[in-house]
């Protein structure tokens, strides 16, 4: 840890104590004598993701967010819906406490949640993740969603495929009766 005042690379520890979730160290710069405090905490180890080509990569929530954001682009979703979804998946991954998880497993978790959130985002995500190579594969997914939609008890459980008009334009002005 470089000195925050002069940038010198070395300091001595003048006090050290255990705090709630780590160790607090009071330090003094060996160059300018300024005092500052550092905290040391245990970083929980995240899982490694096994990619399709068997390479391992540390789980990266930002990558996950980017993928979900792309699928949800311009969809009429609450602003925090994407972050919430990524948070949920991250929490679940840490809970599972596995050292490694196949990327397909994470993809399935996203698909499952997008399916109940927004059909269009679901299809977009599926088309990237499942790598549809022909229209038949895409049609199968769409057909399965159409089946869901027909069976859905609440017709407005899903967001409309085509967003309604702007709220302002939908308002009808009262017609004045002429006498």
Nearer to Zn ion, 25 or 130 (CB): 25
Nearer to Zn ion, 34 or 81 (CB): 34
Interface residue with Zn ion, options 19, 32, 91, 146 (CB under 5 A): 32
Residue 121 near residue 145 (C-beta atoms within 8 A): no
Nearer to Zn ion, 35 or 51 (CB): 35
Q: What is the DSSP code string of 126-176?
A: HHHHTT--SHHHHHHHHHHHHHHHHH-SSTTSS--SSPPPPHHHHPPPPPP
31 binds Zn ion (CB under 5 A): yes
Nearer to Zn ion, 3 or 106 (CB): 3
Query: What's the Cα-to-Cα distance from 85 to each of 15, 40, 43, 91, 173, rounded to whole Å?
Result: 42, 30, 23, 10, 40
Nearer to Zn ion, 37 or 144 (CB): 37
Q: Which are the contacts of 54, defined by CB distance < 8 A and separation ≥ 6?
A: none
- Considering the complex, what minimum distance in angstroms separates the CB of residue 115 from Zn ion? 55
Interface residue with Zn ion, options 1, 6, 128, 161 (CB under 5 A): 6
User: What's the rounded Cα separation, in Å, for the pair 93 and 107?
Assistant: 12
Interface residue with Zn ion, options 1, 2, 5, 73 (CB under 5 A): 5
Pattern 34-53, binding to Zn ion, x per CB under 5 A? Answer: x-------------------
Tokens found for residue 30: 């060996």
29 binds Zn ion (CB under 5 A): yes
What are phi and psi for residue 37, nearest 5 degrees? Answer: -120, 140
- Considering the complex, what minimum distance in angstroms separates the CB of residue 72 from Zn ion? 47
Count of residues of this chain found to bind Zn ion when the rule CB under 5 A is applied:
8
Nearer to Zn ion, 11 or 158 (CB): 11
Q: Which are the contacts of 142, defined by CB distance < 8 A and separation ≥ 6?
A: 123
Q: Which helix (H) or strand (E) holds 108?
A: helix 103-117
**Interacting residue ranges for Zn ion, rule: CB under 5 A:** 3, 5-6, 8, 29, 31-32, 34
């Amino acid at each position: 840890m470089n000195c925050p005042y002069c940038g010198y690379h070395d300091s001595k520890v003048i006090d050290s104590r255990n705090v709630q979730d780590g160790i607090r160290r009071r330090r003094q710069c060996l160059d300018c004598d300024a005092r500052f405090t550092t905290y040391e905490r245990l970083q929980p180890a995240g899982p490694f993701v096994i990619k399709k080509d068997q390479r391992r990569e540390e789980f990266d929530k930002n990558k996950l967010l980017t993928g979900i954001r792309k699928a949800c682009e311009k969809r009429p979703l609450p602003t925090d819906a994407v972050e919430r979804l990524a948070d949920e998946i991250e929490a679940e991954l840490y809970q599972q406490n596995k050292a490694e998880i196949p990327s397909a497993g994470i993809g399935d978790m996203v698909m499952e949640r997008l399916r109940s959130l927004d059909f269009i985002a679901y299809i977009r995500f599926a088309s990237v993740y499942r790598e549809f190579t022909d229209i038949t594969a895409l049609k199968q997914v769409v057909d399965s969603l159409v089946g869901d939609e027909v069976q859905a008890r609440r017709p407005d459980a899903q967001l409309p495929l085509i967003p309604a008009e702007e709220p302002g334009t939908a308002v009808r002005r009262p017609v004045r009766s002429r006498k």
